[in-house]
Amino acid sequence: MSIFKTIFDGNEREIARMRRTVERVNAFEPAISALTDDELRAKTPYFRERLAAGETLDDLLPEVFAVAREAGKRAAGMRHFDVQIIGGQVLYEGRIAEMKTGEGKTLVATLPVYARALEGRGVHVVTVNDYLARRDAEWMGPIYEMLGLTVGVIQHDLDSAQRRAAYNSDVTYVTNNEVGFDYLRDNMAWQVEDMVQRDLYFALVDEVDSILIDEARTPLIISGQGTEPTELYEQFAQIIPRLKKGEDFTVDEKAHAVPITEAGVAKVEKMLGVSNLYEQRNIELTHQLNAALKAWNLFHRDQQYIVKDNEVIIVDEFTGRLMYGRRYSDGIHQAIEAKEGIKVRSEDQTLATITFQNYFRLYERIAGMTGTAKTEEREFRDIYGLDVVVVPTNMPMIRKDNSDIVFKSENAKFKTVVDEIIAEHKKGRPVLVGTRSIEKSEMLAAMLRRQGVECNVLNAKYHAQEAEIIKDAGQGGASDDRHQHGWPRHRHQARRGHSRQGRPAHHRNRASRVEADR
């Protein structure tokens, strides 16, 4: 039966093909293990000489992987399993490796990264947040350094010189936001010396489904000082609460839109004292109306944003972290400020913008890894030309992936959740609870405390205390109630199509950024 499965299952055929590479890598291991540290480091210039002489990376791949594996053993105390070698080859070939959680994707990445870095054109390892970029660089960095490669890491607070040095390294760890903004700034630079990036050669994207599918159409925007805010924001902040949902407007959360009805238009025209809201001369009024309707009905305090120190701060939909310096586009941020009764800042003027989808398609080569990709393979193939290979686990899978449970009401759902948490807590097991918003995380924590279960709450309100909150997480008798937007992720086709207007743009003000760089 296994022979027939290999013949008819395309994924199994690929795995069988790559096992032959694993055998060749294993054949090199005795000789590579006998090398001294200096001899192992000398392999990097040796490989580069062979490449310069006309050999290809494909020819060198088994020995290159064997050298990287040995460096992993010596520098990090971890030897790549055979299935990790397979995962490395998937990534090296510019494909997406689906690997189960806990299978060591971070270590797997060192194989293709080292191989591609031998070409001297720079490799970008793209992660979803600053913490992971720094952690992975510190964790895997010794492996590359043992092999004579340089490692850089891009963090939010680096100046231009530090960024240029990091991008000039053989391997650069960076978040998707930072690498995108650096690309935009380079395209706004007045002279070549002000640019920080090199040519976009090879990107290895971690959590590839999140970045290239969920956030694909999220625009990165660099803005400058724009026009002064108009008094219309405050005026519409008085008008919208007087409109009735269902009668004057409807809310389509799936399409992320708030269409107004004819009755609503008549009411607004009367309150504004205009005869026709949709005349050309009233175009600004319709824009303000749409922004205000969305601000009041689609963006909610302590869910999509928080108010701190008289400032509206966006909460990252995917990580639950605060996004300082980012603003919603299309006047929505100003409408939220008016809604919350705080000073409305001037509208920013867009200077440069690009979506993640368009940015990552600029790379000559791209690969990705995640625990969930096969279900979106068609999108990866159609948009990026990437296919997905499911890499087998090193040991038989014993974790149970249970089916979803659907409840008729929210109250029934949370009561069941609380009962489940208490049952696990009594067994002495640590429990991590992911919720969709700050409000829900605090509601669930209150429900648990009423049942006598103490818990820690980590959400955007306690961003600064994150390290202290998670310090003892997982200890016996402790529980950790964590708000983390998008975890577990529930992706819907409709959510991917409305990012142009309704979704928060990753919006960075150029003036404030330049000041920070100084």
Which segments of 427-476 does DSSP mark as H helices, in order? 438-450, 466-470
- Please tell me whether residues 186 and 270 are part of one structural domain: no
Q: Considering only CA atoms, which of 105, 101, 29, 100 is closest in space to residue 68?
A: 29
With respect to residue 401, please indicate whether it lies within any of the assigned structural domains. no
Domain CATH code at residue 284: 3.90.1440.10
With respect to residue 501, please indicate whether it lies within any of the assigned structural domains. no
pLDDT the model gives residue 499: 33
- Please tell me whether residues 258 and 314 are part of one structural domain: yes
Q: What phi and psi values does residue 99 have, to the nearest 5 degrees?
A: -130, 140
- The dihedral through the CA atoms of 200, 201, 205, 208 has a sign that is positive
d(CA 58, CA 122): 18
pTM (two decimals):
0.75
Bridge-based pairing of strands 365-370 and 96-98 is parallel
Measured in whole angstroms, the distance separating CA 419 from the mean position of its chain's CA atoms is: 32
Q: Check residue 212 and report its DSSP letter.
A: I
- Please tell me whether residues 216 and 281 are part of one structural domain: no
Domain CATH code at residue 172: 3.40.50.300
With respect to residue 41, please indicate whether it lies within any of the assigned structural domains. yes
- Please tell me whether residues 110 and 214 are part of one structural domain: yes
d(CA 376, CA 390): 12
pLDDT tens for the 518 residues of the chain, in order: 455 445 446 899 999 999 999 999 999 999 999 999 999 999 999 999 999 999 999 999 999 999 999 999 999 999 999 999 999 999 999 999 999 988 999 999 999 999 999 999 999 999 988 889 999 999 999 999 999 999 999 998 899 999 999 999 999 999 999 999 999 999 999 999 999 999 999 999 999 999 999 889 888 888 776 666 678 899 999 999 999 999 999 998 888 899 999 999 999 999 999 999 988 888 889 999 999 999 999 999 988 899 988 899 998 776 677 787 788 888 899 999 999 999 888 777 788 999 999 999 999 999 999 998 898 999 999 999 999 999 999 999 888 878 889 999 999 999 999 999 999 888 888 888 888 778 888 899 999 999 988 888 877 666 556 666 666 666 665 555 544 433 333 333 323 333 333 344 555 544 333 222 32
- Please tell me whether residues 215 and 239 are part of one structural domain: no
**Which residues does residue 483 pair with via DSSP β-bridges, in sequence order?**
435
Contact status, residue 156 vs residue 166, Cβ threshold 8 Å: no
The token duo for 77 is: 């105390």
**Which residues does residue 322 pair with via DSSP β-bridges, in sequence order?**
315
pLDDT the model gives residue 219: 86
- Please tell me whether residues 343 and 360 are part of one structural domain: no
278, burial (CB in 10 Å: exposed 0-12, middle 13-18, buried 19+): exposed
d(CA 85, CA 79): 10
With respect to residue 365, please indicate whether it lies within any of the assigned structural domains. yes
- Please tell me whether residues 86 and 186 are part of one structural domain: yes
- Please tell me whether residues 172 and 269 are part of one structural domain: no
With respect to residue 277, please indicate whether it lies within any of the assigned structural domains. yes
pLDDT the model gives residue 463: 57
What range defines the domain where residue 167 resides?
Answer: 2-221+356-390
- Please tell me whether residues 337 and 428 are part of one structural domain: no
pLDDT the model gives residue 492: 31
With respect to residue 495, please indicate whether it lies within any of the assigned structural domains. no
Triad 392, 395, 399: Cα angle to 5°: 90
- Please tell me whether residues 164 and 296 are part of one structural domain: no
d(CA 240, CA 118): 60
- Please tell me whether residues 164 and 241 are part of one structural domain: no
With respect to residue 10, please indicate whether it lies within any of the assigned structural domains. yes
Q: Strand, coil or helix: what is 409?
A: coil
pLDDT the model gives residue 318: 64
Q: Of 295, 313, 347, which one is at a domain's C-terminal end?
A: 347
Number of domains, the chain: 3
With respect to residue 404, please indicate whether it lies within any of the assigned structural domains. no
Cα–Cα distances in Å, from 315 out to 23, 99, 133, 223, 414? 48, 29, 20, 20, 23
d(CA 441, CA 446): 9
Sheet architecture: strand order including 96-98:
151-153, 171-175, 123-127, 202-206, 365-370, 96-98, 388-390
pLDDT the model gives residue 299: 93
Measured in whole angstroms, the distance separating CA 282 from the mean position of its chain's CA atoms is: 39
Helices and strands of the chain, counted as H and E runs = 22, 16
Q: For the chain, how many residues are written?
A: 518
- Please tell me whether residues 57 and 174 are part of one structural domain: yes
Beta-carbon neighbour count of residue 261 at 10 Å? 15
Q: Considering only CA atoms, which of 147, 106, 99 is closest in space to residue 125?
A: 106
- The dihedral through the CA atoms of 108, 111, 112, 117 has a sign that is positive
d(CA 212, CA 306): 27
